[in-house]
Structure 1
Amino acid sequence: MPRQSPPSLPPAPDDTLLERQLRDSRTLEDAPEHVIQRTLQTLQGLQQQRRRTQAAAPAGLRQRVLAALSFDSAAATGLAFGVRSASAAPRQIVCSAGAVDIDLRVETADAGRLQLRGQVFGIDGACAVVLQRDGAALAEAALDAQGQFLLSAVPPGPATLLLRSDDAEIELPALDLGAGP
């Protein structure tokens, strides 16, 4: 059988050619002018539409959102989480509404009253926290710089917690604030 020769290697590339090709590959071409103009017009149209929508909204109008319950330790069984001591741990309630998360802790306070301690994540700016029963405010607080709040001396019973900012209102699902956690 005739013996085959190994394939030959291509000639060594010219360093100048490689350098030029590398430089060219890093250069981006501009988009065609008509594409740039069309994109700018679209963005301007969206900005104008947003300004018209904001101007058409009556002053004081808020978007109202119902938060979804993510977790309630009162509904969790002791076996799933383990029992570490005989003392009652604070009840934890976690709710979400879009990009906003609310972590609420319900603790027993003096004289059969409750204390609600919480933190809100995802709200920038001023926000009031209002606890209501039958449409009447039971307690109210403002968020601090870390998004935390405290509602003290809350009587047990059903209640609704609202978060109010200038342009939105988030309502948590109805809470049954029993005699303790």
Structure 2
Amino acid sequence: MLSDAGDRRRAFVQSAGRALTPFPHAWFDRPAPDVARDLIGSRLEVGPLAARVVETEAYTSDDPASHSFGGPRPRNRAMFGPAGLAYVYRSYGIHWCLNVVCRSGDAVLLRALEPLAGLEVMARRRGTEAPRALCSGPGKIGQAFGLDAAADGADILRFHPAPRGPVVTGPRIGITRATDRPWRFGSEGSAFLSRRFPGT
């Protein structure tokens, strides 16, 4: 297992010339909690930018905290579209948040990433060069990756399998309904989490 962030970045650069096979869209056509756990440790590519997934949250169609609860509407249309596409929404009228669509009505929110490639671009967009500050929260990810409404429903996400360590779970953050569901998943010990998990 790679020992630190520097080793992971070097490994990514060394593998850049090899053919990579991302998860197919059908891989995401499953319950969001399963996908959210399985995405931990994977490598996400959006154009020239790349990052390791270190924290996710799952939302399902029968979940009162989910945007899809109550059925399709103009705002959540992408959640009922093809699996594997992006669902991007604006939070509090400020931050663009990135999700990947799972089975119909389900999606996984990307809460934190460990930047691997394109750090200069992310730093310019975020206004900071501190690696941990680039993608350690949903709004930060949206800004670092330059997302807006045009990305909603788009086929822009490529997730690649990668080795992962232990996964920790806990309650989701920033919601007021269904707060007891342990559908937040993270890479244990990662310095790039948006917030520590209880008991770790």
Q: Larger % of strand: which?
A: 1
Please, what TM-score do these two structures have when normalized by structure 1? Answer: 0.24
Higher relative contact order (CA 8 A, sep 6+): 2
Please, what TM-score do these two structures have when normalized by structure 2? Answer: 0.23
Q: Which has the larger radius of gyration?
A: 1
